[in-house]
Amino acid sequence: MKSELIDNENSYHSKEVSSEILLETKNLTKWFPIKSGILKRTTGYVKAVDDISFSVRKGETFSLVGESGSGKSTLGRAVLRLHEPTSGEVHFEGKDITHLPSHEMRKLRREMQIIYQDPFGSLDPRMNIGDIVGEPLDVHRIARGKQRNERIDELLELVGLDPSRKSRYPHEFSGGQRQRVGIARAIALNPKFILADEAVSALDVSVQAQVVNLLKELQQKLGLTYLFIAHGLNIVRHISDRVGVMYLGQMVEIGEVDEVYKRPAHPYTSALISTKPSPNPRARKKKVILEGEIPSPSNPPTGCRFHTRCPLATEICKQDTPILRPVSDKQSVACHFPLV
Ligand SMILES: Nc1ncnc2c1ncn2[C@@H]1O[C@H](COP(=O)(O)OP(=O)(O)O)[C@@H](O)[C@H]1O
Ligand code: SF4
Ligand SMILES: [Mg+2]
């Protein structure tokens, strides 16, 4: 299965990505209030996403990586306005959508879809596959009767499922097949943008590769743009054009995926890549292991948030917050002492 991914890698990286920006955030911030006591007073905030500015180009796959709790899902959901941002802006197709009223947001949701990690949890077990895939068509009153049926068949075929199985129920399908149903549902309304939040993380490695290849194929066919959130770093390398590395609610490095992997500029990125399991036990021993726990996002360290775990930290790192700056035309980093 690995060779399948590698075979496709070159064609993927040679695909056309427009320089046009589809989605952009400006100083996007999402803090969750911490309430305590009988009066439920706000006593603090979980700073899940703190002042993030980044953009995703049309046709591109932008991946977010970082340890669990770094704010990837919150950022993805804030971008879709499934979480109301605390401050900052979200722009889609050049339009500020941060304060779009809910009826206009509902219309825009057709363009912005989500694929979840757990296909079983996100598919209604009492509905058959055809109705699950057809539901967005019903909700948005896109198609009825014969037209609806034809569209369902077409969608199932697009994701590699046999349309004759559409009266079956989710439990009759394997994990990978259920994720294909989730994908068919996400593309039903011809969206432009898809947030895939750990969409392949729960699947076996061989099935992951198949679903990743399907996502790539659909991107080419349908001109999709992806924000791909991943746990495993391996899979990100094969699907992304660019990658954003998150730590404690902030973006610490952004760059073209090959560049970031070959020459990580942020010590945290370097440590993340080092923790990637190596098949060679000797190589594994030499690798740098990320030490210590991720601090609480309700009380993040001063200055550079990574200073409590960074082997290169100095006094300045504890005081001054580094801002994201380009180190080349392909890579930006938020560190006082970048590695490149
Ligand atoms: N709805 C919520 N209410 C309060 N805290 C939340 C909520 N969602 C996420 N968090 C907190 O925000 C931080 C970032 O979480 P999350 O975005 O899920 O990270 P990731 O997806 O990178 O694992 C975590 O500390 C998490 O506990
Ligand atoms: S700013 Fe300092 S503490 Fe932060 S990553 Fe760079 S060297 Fe490490
Ligand atoms: Mg998450």
- pLDDT tens string 175-231: 999 999 999 999 999 999 999 999 988 888 889 999 999 999 999 999 999 999 997
pLDDT of residue 9: 45
Ligand 1 centroid to residue 254 C-alpha, Å: 21
Q: Give the whole-angstrom CA distance, residue 160 versus residue 174.
A: 13
Which residue's CA is the nearest one to ligand 1's atom 8?
A: 74
- When pLDDT is cut at 50, 70 and 90, the band that residue 3 belongs to is very low
Chain position carrying tokens 């009767």: 145
- When pLDDT is cut at 50, 70 and 90, the band that residue 123 belongs to is confident
Q: Give the whole-angstrom CA distance, residue 291 versus residue 49.
A: 23
- pLDDT tens string 43-64: 999 999 999 999 999 999 999 9
Higher pLDDT pick, 169 / 233: 169
Comparing 140-144, 215-219, 235-239, 286-290, the range with the smallest average pLDDT is 286-290
Check pocket membership of 264 for ligand 1, CB cut-off 6 A. Answer: no
Examine the pLDDT at 16 and tell me if it is beyond 50: yes
Rg, the chain, Cα only? 21
pLDDT of residue 8: 44
Ligand 2 centroid to residue 116 C-alpha, Å: 33
Instruction: State which amino acid sits at residue 300.
Output: P
Ligand 1 centroid to residue 71 C-alpha, Å: 6
Paired tokens of 94:
């050049």
- Listing DSSP states for 93-107 in one string gives TTEE-TT--HHHHHH
- Listing DSSP states for 3-54 in one string gives HHHHHHHHHHHTS---SSEEEEEEEEEEEEEEEETTTTEEEEEEEEEEEEEE
Q: Give the whole-angstrom CA distance, residue 92 versus residue 186.
A: 18
Cβ-Cβ contacts under 8 Å for 94 (sequence gap 6 or more): 21
Which atom of ligand 2 is found nearest the CA of 304? 4
Which atom of ligand 2 is found nearest the CA of 322? 1
- When pLDDT is cut at 50, 70 and 90, the band that residue 11 belongs to is very low
Ligand 2 centroid to residue 147 C-alpha, Å: 57
Q: Give the whole-angstrom CA distance, residue 47 versus residue 42.
A: 13
pLDDT of residue 276: 54
Examine the pLDDT at 68 and tell me if it is beyond 50: yes
Residue 19: CB atoms within 10 Å = 7
pLDDT of residue 293: 85
Examine the pLDDT at 286 and tell me if it is beyond 50: no
If one residue of 46, 80, 197, 245 were mutated to test the ligand 1 pocket, choosing by the most ligand atoms within 8 A of its CB, it would be 46
Ligand 3 centroid to residue 120 C-alpha, Å: 17
Which residue's CA is the nearest one to ligand 1's atom 11?
A: 48
pLDDT of residue 280: 58
Cβ atoms 200, 216 nearer than 8 A: no
Residue 195 belongs to what H/E stretch? strand 193-197
Check pocket membership of 66 for ligand 1, CB cut-off 6 A. Answer: yes
Which residue's CA is the nearest one to ligand 1's atom 17?
A: 71
Quote the pTM value.
0.92
pLDDT of residue 121: 75
Paired tokens of 214:
């399907």
Check pocket membership of 71 for ligand 1, CB cut-off 6 A. Answer: yes
- Listing DSSP states for 199-263 in one string gives TTTTS-HHHHHHHHHHHHHHHHHHT-EEEEE-S-HHHHHHH-SEEEEEETTEEEEEEEHHHHHHS
Check pocket membership of 117 for ligand 1, CB cut-off 6 A. Answer: no
